[in-house]
Chain A
Amino acid sequence: MKSFNISRRRFLKGSLAAGAAGLLPNLIFSGSADAAASPTNVVIVVHLDGGWDGLNTVVPFTDPAYAAARPTLAIPGGDVLPITGALGFHPALTGLKTLYDQGKVAVVNGVGYPNFNRSHFAAEDIYWTADPASAPSTGWLGRGLDVMNTGNVMSGVYIGSATPLSMLGDTVSVPAIPDAASYTFQSGGNAADDAAVLSAAVQIIDQPATGMAMIDGILVQDRALRDSIGQVQSAAAYQTSVTYANDSFSRSMKFAAQLIRANIGVRIISTDFGSFDTHSGQPARLTTLLGNLSAGIASFQQDALVGGFANRVTVMFWSEFGRRVAENASAGTDHGASAPIIVVGEGVRGGVVGNYPSLTDLTGGDLKMGVDFRSVYASVLSDWLAVNDSQVLGASWAKLPIFL
Chain B
Amino acid sequence: MAWDLDNAAHLLRRAGFGGSMAQVQQLYGLGQEGAISYLLNYESIPDPAAQDVNALGLDVTKRNDAAAWMLYRLLVSTRPLQEKLTWFWHGHFTSSVNDIPPQYMIVQNETWRANANGGVLPFLKAMYKDPAMLDYLDNNTNVASKPNENFARELMELFTIGIGNYTETDVKEAARALTGWRISAGPPPVGTFVVSRHDNGNKTVLGVTGNLNGDSVMDILFAHPANAPRICTKLYQFFVRPDVNAGDLAALVATWGATNGNIKAVMNALLHLDSFWAADTRNALVKSPMEYTLGLAQRFQLTVLSAANLRTGVALLNNMGQYPFAPPDVAGYPQGLEWAGTSPMLARYNAANTILYGAAGAVIVNQLTQGQDVSTAAKLVDVLAFQMGPLTLTATTRQGLINYVNAGGYTGTAAQIQSKTRGATHLLVSTPEYQAQ
Chain A positions within 8 Å of B, measured between CB atoms, are 118-122, 158, 161-163, 175-178, 182-190, 192-193, 195-197, 199-201, 203-205, 207-208, 210, 212-219, 221-222, 224-225, 228-229, 279-280, 328-330, 332, 334-335, 364
Contacts and interface: CB of A to CB of B under 8 A. Distances in A.
B329 A204 contact: no
A222 B148 contact: no
A195 B407 CA distance: 9
Contacts of B383: none
B38 interface: no
Contacts of B163: 119, 122
Contact of A163 (B341, B423, B426): B341
A120 B408 contact: no
Interface residues of B, number: 64
A203 B433 CA distance: 14
A215 B436 contact: yes
Interface stretch (B54-62, B363-371, B395-403): B395-403
B232 to A, nearest CB: 20
Given A203-B403, A364-B168, A189 B344 contact: no
B337 interface: yes
Point out which of B337, B349, B356 has the most chain A C-beta atoms below 10 A from its C-beta.
B337
Interface stretch (B137-145, B218-226, B252-260): B137-145
A200 B400 contact: yes
A161 B432 contact: no
Interface in B282-302: 283-286
18 contacts: A162-B321, A176-B342, A182-B347, A185-B349, A186-B353, A189-B357, A189-B422, A196-B403, A197-B404, A200-B400, A200-B401, A203-B403, A204-B400, A212-B280, A215-B436, A218-B337, A329-B143, A330-B138
A215 B283 contact: yes
A212 B146 CA distance: 52
B145 A177 contact: no
B150 interface: yes
Contact of B148 (A161, A162, A279): A279
A162 B334 contact: yes
A182 B346 CA distance: 9
Nearest to A117: B163
A329 B343 contact: no
Contact of A186 (B149, B350, B435): B350
A297 to B, nearest CB: 24
A212 B345 contact: no
3 tightest A-B contacts by CB?
A329-B146, A188-B357, A176-B341
A216 B432 CA distance: 8
Nearest to B328: A162
A279 B134 CA distance: 13
A224 B400 CA distance: 19
Interface string B23-60: 00000000000000000000000000000000000000
A214 B435 contact: yes
B431 A204 contact: yes
DSSP majority for the B interface?
helix
Contact of B343 (A176, A197, A201, A210): A176
Contacts of B306: none
Interface in B133-169: 138, 141, 143, 145-150, 153, 157, 163, 168
Contacts of A186: 349-350, 353-354
Contacts of B330: 120
A216 to B, nearest CB: 8
A149 B239 CA distance: 38
A153 to B, nearest CB: 9
B134 to A, nearest CB: 12
A328 B396 contact: no
B336 interface: yes
Contacts of B433: 215
B346 A185 contact: yes
A222 B143 CA distance: 51
Nearest to A161: B321
B206 interface: no
Contacts of B331: 120-121
Contacts of B431: 204
Contact of A161 (B143, B341, B353): B341
A214 B423 contact: no
Given A119-B157, A214-B285, A189 B419 contact: yes
A185 to B, nearest CB: 6
B24 to A, nearest CB: 22
B344 A176 contact: yes
A225 to B, nearest CB: 4
B287 to A, nearest CB: 10
Given A162-B321, A189-B422, A212-B436, A217 B340 contact: yes
A329 B148 contact: yes
A187 B435 contact: no
A161 B400 contact: no
B326 to A, nearest CB: 12
Contacts of B319: 182
Contacts of B343: 161, 175-178, 182-183
A131 to B, nearest CB: 17
A162 B345 CA distance: 10
Given A189-B419, A328-B148, A218 B432 contact: yes
Contacts of A163: 341
A192 B321 CA distance: 31
A208 B432 CA distance: 12
Nearest to B164: A122
A175 B285 CA distance: 21
A197 B427 contact: yes
B339 interface: yes
B104 to A, nearest CB: 16
A176 B341 CA distance: 6
A213 B432 CA distance: 11
A203 B397 CA distance: 8
Contacts of B427: 197, 200-201, 204
B141 to A, nearest CB: 4
Contact of B353 (A187, A208, A334, A335): A187
B108 to A, nearest CB: 19
A210 B436 CA distance: 12
Nearest to A203: B400
Interface in B397-437: 397, 399-401, 403-404, 407-408, 419, 422-423, 426-427, 430-433, 435-436
A183 B435 contact: no
A280 B340 contact: no
Nearest to B407: A196
Given A204-B400, A215-B433, A185 B340 contact: no
Contact of A221 (B340, B350, B356, B436): B340
Contacts of B349: 185-186
A161 B340 contact: no
Contacts of A188: 353-354, 356-357, 422, 426
B359 to A, nearest CB: 12
Given A162-B344, A204-B397, A329 B141 contact: yes
Given A120-B329, A328-B146, A329-B148, A193 B338 contact: no
B196 interface: no
Given A119-B157, A176-B342, A197-B404, A185 B146 contact: no
B394 A210 contact: yes
Nearest to B171: A118
